[in-house]
Structure 1
Amino acid sequence: MASSTDRIEKTVLLRAPQERVWRAISDSKEFGTWFGVEFDRPFVAGASIVGKMAPTRVDAEVAKRQEPYRGYRFEFQVERVEPMRFFSFRWHPFAMDSSVDYSKEPTTLVAFHLEEDKDGTKLTVTESGFDQIPLERRAKAFAANEGGWAAQMMLIEKYLAQQAKG
């Protein structure tokens, strides 16, 4: 069992069909719109993807907080893509200091699980592996991503609601 310092888990019930939620998390353009990043290519299992921070287009307050990081480049490796059910990638959590080389650090695993629900789709996002992050930045990375995933769950919910309205 992972420790409480190793794993972040957030769940939200989205009032959208599973197919629609799947597109929002598995299509790199849609993901980028709500998450706040522009990717260089589609998500494909086994691929390395480069993203550049670009404030979300879903919420003005969150976009304002993301603005100072506009253009910041980061990479992640797509691990698994199981249509309609599961999507995962690895990245360096809270790797926001351009003067630091994070490439030698272990990555965390971010996993999106979808489950059909009578009221829509249950989305659970889990990020694990924080206990392997260097001690000098582990607590800050965990705290930043704990809050970050809470905000991202609100953003995907808001994005899907906006999309449903047209």
Structure 2
Amino acid sequence: MSTLTTDRIEKQILLRAPQSRVWRALTDAGEFGTWFRVKLDGPFVPGQWNRGKITWPGYEHITMEVLVERMEAETLFSFRWHPYAIDPKVDYSGEPSTLVEFRLEPSGGDTLLRVVESGFDLLPAGRREEAFRMNDGGWAQQLVNIERHVAG
């Protein structure tokens, strides 16, 4: 399911895995890197930056940077980043960031995962529409990726 506005992307998926398994896939930097396709420099720690090289074919020139906001055991993992920041010649640090939230809820023995990325309306007008469109498609793919990861 997907809900679209101009400011936020919302997606959800029912994962055939226990909540603890999904939590580990989201918050263990090594596991996150496997399904998200990024080689992160270290663990996720609230209040700290984590960086790493994207390993997705065609995007290997990009360094992903996230500022971890919250880690509430097995229910909420959130970070801030600069969406679709793919031009290595551009300094995105002066732009507002978007907030990515992963929320987990038990559903029988499975886990409902909700992903919300918000704050697109604050981005520079020249980047807003493309960043929204690309991340909307990106989150659809990443949900498929995490589903495969926790199933295997």
Name 1:79's counterpart in structure 2. Answer: 69
Name 2:8's counterpart in structure 1. Answer: 7
* Alignment check: 8 A CA contact 2:61 2:88 kept: no
Which among 79, 93, 97 is matched to residue 103 of structure 1? Answer: 93
Question: Root-mean-square deviation (CA), in Å?
Answer: 1.0
With 70-79 and 108-117 compared, the bigger mean Cα shift is at 70-79
SS at match of 1:51: strand
Residue 74 of structure 1, CA deviation: 2.4
Residue 91 of structure 1, CA deviation: 0.1
Q: Which runs of 5 or more residues in structure 2 are unaligned? A: none
- Relative to total residues, which structure has the larger helix share, 1 or 2? 1
Residue 125 of structure 1, CA deviation: 0.4
Name 1:50's counterpart in structure 2. Answer: 51
Name 1:57's counterpart in structure 2. Answer: none
Aligned residues between the structures:
149
* Alignment check: 8 A CA contact 2:8 2:116 kept: yes
Q: How many angstroms apart in 2 are the aligned matches of 1:102 and 1:12?
A: 31
- Relative to total residues, which structure has the larger strand share, 1 or 2? 2
Q: How many angstroms apart in 1 are the aligned matches of 2:138 and 2:113?
A: 16
- Taking structure 2 as the reference length, the TM-score comes to 0.95
Q: How many angstroms apart in 1 are the aligned matches of 2:141 and 2:27?
A: 19
Q: Does 1:123 align with 2:113?
A: yes
- Taking structure 1 as the reference length, the TM-score comes to 0.87
Name 1:63's counterpart in structure 2. Answer: none
Q: Which runs of 5 or more residues in structure 1 are unaligned? A: 55-65
Name 2:149's counterpart in structure 1. Answer: 159
Q: How many angstroms apart in 1 are the aligned matches of 2:109 and 2:136?
A: 26
Q: How many angstroms apart in 2 are the aligned matches of 1:125 and 1:147?
A: 13
Residue 72 of structure 1, CA deviation: 1.7
Which among 134, 138, 145 is matched to residue 135 of structure 2? Answer: 145
Q: How many angstroms apart in 2 are the aligned matches of 1:136 and 1:146?
A: 17
* Alignment check: 8 A CA contact 2:99 2:119 kept: yes
Q: How many angstroms apart in 1 are the aligned matches of 2:52 and 2:70?
A: 18
Residue 119 of structure 1, CA deviation: 4.6
Name 1:23's counterpart in structure 2. Answer: 24
Q: How many angstroms apart in 1 are the aligned matches of 2:16 and 2:90?
A: 40
Runs of 4+ residues deviating >2 angstroms: none
Which among 52, 62, 69 is matched to residue 59 of structure 2? Answer: 69
Name 1:94's counterpart in structure 2. Answer: 84
- Cα deviations across residues 107-135 of structure 1 (Å, max 9, x unaligned)? 00000000000150000000000000000
Identity %: 54
